[in-house]
A and B are shown apart, each in its own frame.
Chain A
Amino acid sequence: MDDKKFNNEVNQNDPGNDVVLEVRNLKKYFPIKSSFLRLVIGHVKAVDGISFKIKRGTTMGLVGESGCGKSTAGRTILRLLEKTEGEVIFNGKDIFKLSRKELRAIRPKIQIIFQDPYSSLSPRMPVGEIIGEAVKEHNIVPPEEYNDYISRVMKACGLQEYHKDRYPHEFSGGQRQRICIARALALNPDFIVCDEPVSALDVSIQAQIINLLKQLQNEFNLTYLFISHDLSVVEHISDTVGVMYLGNLVEYADTEQIFARPLHPYTKALFSAIPVPDPDYKMERIVLEGSIPSPANPPKGCKFHTRCNECKAKGLRVCEQIEPPVKEVEPGHFCACHLYDTVEEMERFEKELAEIDAKIAAKANAKK
């Protein structure tokens, strides 16, 4: 009840915009420099054009194997890293077009929780100060309320008031992650990037932290981008899920939809690896051959075609040459795969393929 009332208030400031964050064709390339002369000799394409929208009060899960650019995407969205291309629109403003001052003002609204709760807390600062430092900086609350406010935030995150004067090393991993959450929460954010917040914790603590995040989301209408490689956690917390492979978003849909019917061969393989806590259940794992290609030199066409079982089985040549566009295969279910090409599209790609072949042939002739 209260939530709704409160939502209305916020929406009055931001009328008719339910989407908190929109990412359009975001790219982040890291230059590879030669050891001699420091010349740029190539790029690591960590994030190679991803687009999605997150609605207010929802959680988007971002999954993929390690090295696929999930964390980079998360940090680039927060402009902790400068983009190469694309737009990140937060509450109607492009984050990359803000000046330094404006960016600093908007920082409290977009927060991040890191994977490692040990290194993400300054070791020589008491917890109260860690949480409250930026609160003071941004004048989140009037000075007379500051102390109570920090206590309340800490309580909301499951910490005790007397923890304020302790140092991070006196806490367990789970408690530290709560401190990290409190630090993010205290700034009254709209959007939090959770960069694998539970992967460094043991399973029972994971559940606590996940539940805390969920509870805080319900209570304070937070929006999360939940980056993880743990699919069961993502299934539990997310409203929508995006699957990344080698810097690309290959599939994107509502959680139920994607878990019920994964479309992309990579998603299928990934989901088949979810362990089921039932000894009698026989898992049908799809085993991918080879390893993830180098993001500095990704394969042509569909980046997944080198490891794609279905592509090999069907002998699709189009996968090798033409990059599949992201399209809505089912309502609200986006996928980038040639398996779901319509007849017209197939015809168009055939033509393009023929053109490419002709070019290659012409080149070969010219050489001869």
Chain B
Amino acid sequence: MADYKPNHLNEKLKEREQEELKNKDLNSSENKPLALDDSQRVKVLSPARLVTKRFLKNKLAITGLAILIVMFTMCFLGAALYPYGQTDKFYKIAPLELDYAVCGELSSYTKYFVNEADMNDPVLDDLKLKFDSYIIQMESSNETELSVLQGDIEFIIEKVVDRVYVGYIAAQMEDFGTFDPILGEITAGETVEGLAEVLSSAVKEKKESVEFDGDIYFIKQVSKTKVSLSRLTAIDGEKKTIIATKLVFDAVNHKEQIDNKFKIAVLQNIADQTKPFTYGDKSYSFDQEDSDNLIIKDESGDPYVYISRYSTRHASGEDSLDLTFKMKAASIVDQLEAENAATYSFEYEVPQINPDTEQYDLDENGNIILTKETVNVVRKETAGERSFYFKYNMNRKLITIYEKPSAAHILGTDGDGYDVFARILFGGRVSLLVGFVVVILETILGVIMGGIAGFFGGWVDTLIMRLVDIFYCIPTMPIMIILASVFDAYKVDPYQRLFWMMVLLGVLGWSGIARLVRGQILSLREQEFMIAAEATGLRTSKRIFKHLVPNVMPQLIVSMTMGLGGVILTESSLSFLGLGVKHPLATWGNMINSVSTIEAMKSYTYIWVPVGILICLTVIAFNFVGDGLRDAFDPKMKR
């Protein structure tokens, strides 16, 4: 308990009161006429209630408050109750025309080594690499045989039938020796009878090469008395051979893989199709069904392999289509090629995909269920290559983007298949939260800094005000852009981004409030009531918080509420520019951003109009409430 000194003033006042009471008793016996006492007439309200009452009388402020209450319940409670979340994607099952198969001629030849052992031969490998270009050379000059001297090696490429070529190493060059054309003497490791005559006549005729006894001799004049000789010797016995073909082998049973060796055997015997050939222990025969398809039948006469010009594959590249479709495709492509047409459509039994499992529909036996669909064929040419795409409508699970408002989605869905209304609710949470946190941060910083500067003045004031000037100069936008790029670089979590954005906006925004508070306090502290407060011996803290701060309060509240609207706008524009809160976290700003092109804005008004209206409404409501509070706080206002 504090020590109370005897207070003579209080004692005297009490005495006076007692006396007055006595007099009053005496007076009351005189039966005074009844009069309305001022103390009975005036109803006294506490200051807080007075402010509330004044505030409630302001219609605009009430409207604003109602809007804000609706907004808050909607965003904070409504979002919790609404069935959809902000990142719930919505799907629908709808037919989508997708590629089923691709058919076309092979663009390059497939090469087979006749002997597996040759696979690692570098010379043959060289031939394999250049095979396609030799074939092109042959096709353009319409030759059936081509001999190429590649370094010391001679290759020979022969056309067997259309689209089948055989290439092998025919001969090899070696140094033979020298020849003296004047003496007609050959200096060599071996002696070839009669060569000298042929050579001397060839040298006289200045031939570069001469054929003798199946070998070709190349002549190179070194001097008048010396000619160097090299001999191209044909390789005897089994030749190292590559078979190249553009023909495609399709087994009748499409699940069966055809051995490369079988293909080689077929290709080796393809020149004479009348003769049957043997592979392994079995004998096979050729059969020409139509102009294009060659059929190879096994011993029992059943078709075993179809040979076609066209390769028909699944759109995924898998070779899992059955032969009937392949043959059908090949005939269609033939027809189209003949007509030089680009499109065609036909009915065909094709498999359907289950949209949920993304697998083919299977019956109980595990076989693919086929349904009749219209298959469209489209020709596509890329880099001179021509292929035909077989498409039909498949039932697929599709994201419901840009769906018009409906009962399921009150405001439709956006470009990511999210429910727009859910995103409005969750986005409102973020926008309002950002507004409040930033403004509170700004105000705390601003009141502390401005209050210190205003109350103490002098060098403290100068220092803080220069700091305020510096903060005024800091451009928010470039800093936000830099920060956004830093966040992008480090792939910062959207929530953390939000937090840092709030901190930055708060730290950059306090200077205005600090200036306001400082200005108010500077003028207030010179008022006589502050001197009176000092004269009554009040503590500094009380002088600041009971006399100065309440007087700054109205301006502060107005600037806070106006600031709230401003911060919501800033956040929206930052998010709109992609600098603020990032997708998939929703805010009102980045929702508008999702329809930033003129075309999108025209077509998807149901996405951006409600968000835009909400932003406007919120900002206006904050301003109304701010105005209302200012009027309510000002006791001089009479309304």
Inter-chain CA distance A169–B533, complex, in Å, is 18
Instruction: Choose among B3, B8, B13, B15 the residue that contacts A9 (Cβ–Cβ < 8 A).
Output: B8
Q: Is B10 a contact of A160 with CB atoms below 8 Å?
A: no
A233: shortest Cβ distance to chain B, in Å?
Answer: 20
With A142-B4, A152-B17, A161-B39 as contacts: A122 and B529 at CB distance below 8 Å: yes
Range for the number of chain B residues in contact with chain A: 35 or more
Chain B residues whose CB sits within 8 angstroms of the CB of A142 once the complex forms: 4
Chain A residues whose CB sits within 8 angstroms of the CB of B142 once the complex forms: none
Q: Does residue B546 face the partner (Cβ distance < 8 Å to A)?
A: yes
Interface segment among B185-193, B480-488, B547-555: the answer is: B547-555
Number of residues from A at the complex interface, CB < 8 A: 56
Chain B residues whose CB sits within 8 angstroms of the CB of A112 once the complex forms: 531-532, 535
Q: Does residue B47 face the partner (Cβ distance < 8 Å to A)?
A: yes
Q: Does residue A120 face the partner (Cβ distance < 8 Å to B)?
A: yes
Q: Is A149 a contact of B13 with CB atoms below 8 Å?
A: yes
Q: Does residue A96 face the partner (Cβ distance < 8 Å to B)?
A: no
Q: Is A220 a contact of B537 with CB atoms below 8 Å?
A: no
B206: shortest Cβ distance to chain A, in Å?
Answer: 109
With A124-B551, A133-B546, A137-B542 as contacts: A78 and B535 at CB distance below 8 Å: yes
The prevalent SS among residues of B at the interface is: helix
Chain B residues whose CB sits within 8 angstroms of the CB of A165 once the complex forms: 44-47
Instruction: Choose among A114, A170, A219 the residue that contacts B12 (Cβ–Cβ < 8 A).
Output: A219
Q: Does residue B528 face the partner (Cβ distance < 8 Å to A)?
A: yes
Q: Does residue B14 face the partner (Cβ distance < 8 Å to A)?
A: yes
Q: Does residue B282 face the partner (Cβ distance < 8 Å to A)?
A: no
With A80-B535, A124-B553, A169-B635 as contacts: A149 and B10 at CB distance below 8 Å: yes
Chain A residues whose CB sits within 8 angstroms of the CB of B633 once the complex forms: 124
Q: Which of B45, B533, B535, B551 has the most CB of A within 10 A?
A: B535
Who on chain A is nearest to B534 by CB?
A80
Chain B residues whose CB sits within 8 angstroms of the CB of A243 once the complex forms: none
Inter-chain CA distance A300–B16, complex, in Å, is 55
Q: Which of B16, B529, B534, B553 has the most CB of A within 10 A?
A: B529
Inter-chain CA distance A10–B6, complex, in Å, is 11
- Interface flags for A123-156 (1: CB within 8 Å of B; 0: not) read 1111000000110011111100100010011011
With A124-B550, A125-B547 as contacts: A188 and B8 at CB distance below 8 Å: yes
Chain B residues whose CB sits within 8 angstroms of the CB of A139 once the complex forms: 2-4
Who on chain A is nearest to B17 by CB?
A152
Inter-chain CA distance A103–B536, complex, in Å, is 11
Instruction: Choose among A2, A111, A119, A125 the residue that contacts B546 (Cβ–Cβ < 8 A).
Output: A125
Q: Does residue B29 face the partner (Cβ distance < 8 Å to A)?
A: no
Q: Does residue B42 face the partner (Cβ distance < 8 Å to A)?
A: yes
Q: Does residue A229 face the partner (Cβ distance < 8 Å to B)?
A: no
Q: Is B537 a contact of A104 with CB atoms below 8 Å?
A: yes
Q: Is B12 a contact of A220 with CB atoms below 8 Å?
A: yes
Inter-chain CA distance A122–B529, complex, in Å, is 6
Residues of B at the A interface (CB closer than 8 Å) are 2-4, 7-10, 12-17, 38-39, 42, 44-47, 527-529, 531-539, 542, 546-547, 550-551, 553, 633, 635-636
Residues of A at the B interface (CB closer than 8 Å) are 2, 6, 9-10, 75, 78, 80, 103-108, 110-112, 114, 116, 119-126, 133-134, 137-142, 145, 149, 152-153, 155-156, 160-162, 164-167, 169-170, 180, 183, 185, 187-188, 219-220
